Homo-oligomer: A and B are copies of this chain.
Amino acid sequence: MAVGEFDLIKRYFDRHKPQQPFNTLGIGDDCALLSIPPDYQLALTTDTMVENVHFFADVNPAWLGHKLLAVNLSDLAAMGAQPFAVTLALTLPRVDEVWLQAFSDGFMSLSSLFQVDLIGGDTTAGPLTLTVQALGLVPKGAALLRSTARAGDLVYVTGPLGNAGLGLKIVQGHTCNRPEQALTSFHLPQPRISQGLALRGVASACIDISDGLAADLGHILEKSGVGASLCWENLPLSAEVQNYVAQTGDWRMPLTAGDDYELCFTVSADSVHKLPANCYCVGQIEAEPGLRITHNGQPESLGVKGFEHFS
């Protein structure tokens, strides 16, 4: 049975009562209405995913729904914000109810996990293009910025690097004895919300790793007017990524592959004792601009940057 635009929103996405007291009017009016508590700022981010650019046409739609929301929540995590609401702009070539059921299941189960309300959106016909806007709250002045790293700070990441990059290579045909972790990292990234919250008042700067550590740390360096040195041997790597590097010699992959959605942050030496568990020091911030990398004790050049559209 074909469903129209309004039915579609109601059937697949208007499932839950609002879980957050801030969302005072949900789907079904010209706008959503939100009440922001005093002493908080609103953090707001938007990310688009396009078929055959960000995902393959045959991807499991439940994974896609999860990932679309996860990459947006990841931006809130990088800001130290607590997510509370999202909107979804869905451009679909046709109404495929099996696809929509799975996609919305993936999207809504992650939103339930983080108690994020879907408060509005738009549904249009056209090439498959998915845009989420995510909203979070952060106490005034507590947001983690890109522009506030200082020389002498240490550079950390919240988890292993290159798993999602290896996952993509497996999807593209690379063979791996134990592909499960890499594929899960690639298809079902976990936004590091609790880590972002724990870094409020501790980290001096923060970003999420969507385009690879080198490119994303590069944004911190540029915005903060500083440089950094990384030692490759300090990168946290899974056994499978270590195997991949040993097999292929492609040691740059964990630095340049995107989609890990770990946080990269800087912290002053005297705040290191306040860090949450499972953070890994990978380098230090220096006054001299640029990113310097040593591998096997030798200075190396990456040659490539992270993914950039149109570049």
Cβ–Cβ contact A308 & B53, under 8 A: no
Task: Provide the bound-state CA to CA distance between A34 and B122, in Å.
Answer: 23
Cβ–Cβ contact A28 & B131, under 8 A: no
Quick check: which of A137-145, A168-176, A229-237, A250-258 contacts chain B, the rest being far away? A137-145
Cβ–Cβ contact B310 & A91, under 8 A: no
> Does A287 lie at the interface of the complex (its beta carbon under 8 Å from any beta carbon of B)?
no
User: In the complex, what residues of B have CB within 8 A of residue A308's CB?
Assistant: 4-6
Task: Provide the bound-state CA to CA distance between A52 and B8, in Å.
Answer: 22
Which of A24, A42, A135, A208 has its CB near the most chain B CB atoms (within 10 A)? Answer: A42
- Which of B28, B44, B122 has a CB less than 8 Å from the CB of A119? B44
User: In the complex, what residues of B have CB within 8 A of residue A36's CB?
Assistant: 36, 42
With both beta carbons as reference points, the residue of chain B lying nearest to A4 in the complex is identified as B311
With both beta carbons as reference points, the residue of chain B lying nearest to A147 in the complex is identified as B29
Task: Provide the bound-state CA to CA distance between A49 and B129, in Å.
Answer: 11
> Does A199 lie at the interface of the complex (its beta carbon under 8 Å from any beta carbon of B)?
no
Question: Within the complex, what minimum Cβ distance (angstroms) separates A53 from chain B?
Answer: 5
Cβ–Cβ contact B143 & A33, under 8 A: yes
User: In the complex, what residues of B have CB within 8 A of residue A34's CB?
Assistant: 41-44
> Does A288 lie at the interface of the complex (its beta carbon under 8 Å from any beta carbon of B)?
no
With both beta carbons as reference points, the residue of chain B lying nearest to A2 in the complex is identified as B310
Cβ–Cβ contact A53 & B125, under 8 A: yes
Cβ–Cβ contact B124 & A75, under 8 A: no
Which of A3, A51, A87, A206 has its CB near the most chain B CB atoms (within 10 A)? Answer: A87
CB proximity to B under 8 Å, residues A197-253? 206-208, 223
User: In the complex, what residues of B have CB within 8 A of residue A207's CB?
Assistant: 30
Task: Provide the bound-state CA to CA distance between A162 and B54, in Å.
Answer: 40
> Does A296 lie at the interface of the complex (its beta carbon under 8 Å from any beta carbon of B)?
no
> Does A21 lie at the interface of the complex (its beta carbon under 8 Å from any beta carbon of B)?
no
Cβ–Cβ contact A125 & B310, under 8 A: yes
Cβ–Cβ contact A25 & B95, under 8 A: no
Question: Within the complex, what minimum Cβ distance (angstroms) separates A78 from chain B?
Answer: 4
With both beta carbons as reference points, the residue of chain B lying nearest to A119 in the complex is identified as B44
Per-residue CB proximity of A18-30 to B under 8 Å, as 1/0? 0000001100111
- Which of B8, B87, B127, B223 has a CB less than 8 Å from the CB of A44? B87
Known contacts A75-B30, A75-B31, A143-B25; is-contact A310 B3 (Cβ 8 Å): yes
Per-residue CB proximity of A39-72 to B under 8 Å, as 1/0? 0011111111111111000000000000000000
In the assembled complex, 30 residue pairs joining A and B whose CB atoms fall closer than 8 Å, in A order, are: A5-B309, A5-B310, A8-B310, A24-B41, A29-B79, A30-B79, A30-B146, A30-B206, A30-B208, A31-B78, A33-B42, A33-B43, A33-B44, A33-B138, A33-B143, A34-B43, A44-B135, A46-B87, A46-B120, A46-B122, A47-B122, A48-B126, A48-B131, A49-B124, A51-B126, A87-B133, A89-B131, A125-B309, A126-B129, A127-B127
Further contacts, 6 of them, CB under 8 A, given A4-B308, A45-B120, A46-B133: A4-B310, A31-B44, A33-B43, A48-B91, A123-B309, A125-B309
